[in-house]
């Protein structure tokens, strides 16, 4: 498979709002990326992959990373805390992706304990070192290297981190507008705005965006170049095309793509549960969520929604 044609950096120079599907463990895999691309998503991320495992194990590479010709532009997100391992991982994916992203935002305990994810926002020199190494090792100058971060309580520290990353050659920065401790508290869009004002590279806003209208509003408030969405797209993969809730066509598109690409049943069913959350009654949910085979799901959908 040859190098991907579309250049994500060019997306940010289009003057349009860049609509991005977030890295989501278990969920942002090839079939789902293919689905959201059908509904106006401009740029997709893989789930977070631990770089050390990816480099050391062929089995990890095969299970964690699948792509195809239409899956672009594509960013592979890595959890890493070692510049050498990260640059090795970047070299492996370079022919099949448009760039890599360093996860500096995952607040899960295991990630922080292993020195990955959000603890990196307190290690700007390590982040700089990782960015430099990837830049030195990957020959393609158009290959992007980005970071996804959370914010500090003291925003000056976040601005400092972003400036250092920019000086080292980061292509863009995605900011989840919450601190490491915050989960469901309101997103600090004002903080994202301040970061954006201090940068000359593109900035993507992330956190609690559930519709295209909200995405446009967040861009307006923050002045950012794009928005990244996770749960909003799980609930409605057609969100970026302006649908307020998942249209039936999108549900059937998911069925077709998942079957075509061999999506495991658990994942296939889980996505449908998210998509149908808003359009089904409690009773219907009870029945649908208890189904245990692809054929049962297909029968249910045909009976209730027709082809």
Would you name the residues annotated as active-site residues? 106
Q: Is 23 annotated as a binding residue?
A: yes
CA pair distance 272, 298, nearest whole angstrom: 11
Residues paired with 204 in a beta bridge: 174, 226
**Contact present, 172 and 204 (Cβ < 8 Å):** yes
Task: Give, rounded to a whole angstrom, the gap between the first and last alpha carbons of the chain.
Answer: 34
Q: Is 230 annotated as a binding residue?
A: yes
CA pair distance 193, 219, nearest whole angstrom: 9
Q: Is 176 annotated as a binding residue?
A: yes
Can you tell me which residue has the tokens 């749960």?
A: 231
CA pair distance 7, 147, nearest whole angstrom: 17
Q: Is 231 annotated as a binding residue?
A: yes
Q: Is 25 annotated as a binding residue?
A: yes
Residues in the chain: 307
For 228-259, the DSSP string reads: EESHHHHH-TTGGGT-SS--HHHHHHHHHHHH
**Contact present, 89 and 61 (Cβ < 8 Å):** no
Which among 176, 164, 198 has a CA at the least distance from the CA of 77? 176
Binding-site positions for FMN: 23-25, 77, 176, 230-231
Binding-site positions: 23-25, 77, 176, 230-231
């Amino acid at each position: 498979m040859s190098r991907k044609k579309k250049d994500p950096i060019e997306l940010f120079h289009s003057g349009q709002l860049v609509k991005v599907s977030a890295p989501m463990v278990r969920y942002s895999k090839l079939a789902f990326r293919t689905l959201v691309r059908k509904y106006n998503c401009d740029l997709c991320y893989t789930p977070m992959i631990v770089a050390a495992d990816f480099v050391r194990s062929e089995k990890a590479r095969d299970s964690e990373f699948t792509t195809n010709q239409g899956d672009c532009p594509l960013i592979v997100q890595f959890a890493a805390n070692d510049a050498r391992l990260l640059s090795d991982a970047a070299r492996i994916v370079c022919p099949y992706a448009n760039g890599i992203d360093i996860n500096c935002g995952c607040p899960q305990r295991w990630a922080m304990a292993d020195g990955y994810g959000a603890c990196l926002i307190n290690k700007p020199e390590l982040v700089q070192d990782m960015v430099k190494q990837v830049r030195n090792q990957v020959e393609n100058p158009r290959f992007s290297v980005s970071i996804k971060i959370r914010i500090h309580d003291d925003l000056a520290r976040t601005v400092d981190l972003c400036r250092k990353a920019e000086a080292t050659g980061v292509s863009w920065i995605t900011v989840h507008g919450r601190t490491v401790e915050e989960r469901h508290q309101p997103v600090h869009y004002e903080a994202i705005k301040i970061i954006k004002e201090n940068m000359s590279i593109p900035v993507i806003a992330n956190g609690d965006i559930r519709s295209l209208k909200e995405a446009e509003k967040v861009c307006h408030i923050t002045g950012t170049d794009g928005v990244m969405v996770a749960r909003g797209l799980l609930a409605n993969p057609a969100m970026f095309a302006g649908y307020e809730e998942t249209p039936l066509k999108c549900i059937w598109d998911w069925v077709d793509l998942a079957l075509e690409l061999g999506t495991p049943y658990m994942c296939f069913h889980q996505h449908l549960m998210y998509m149908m959350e808003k359009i089904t009654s409690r009773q219907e949910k009870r029945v649908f969520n208890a189904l245990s085979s692809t054929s049962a799901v297909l029968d249910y959908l045909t009976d209730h929604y027709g082809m």
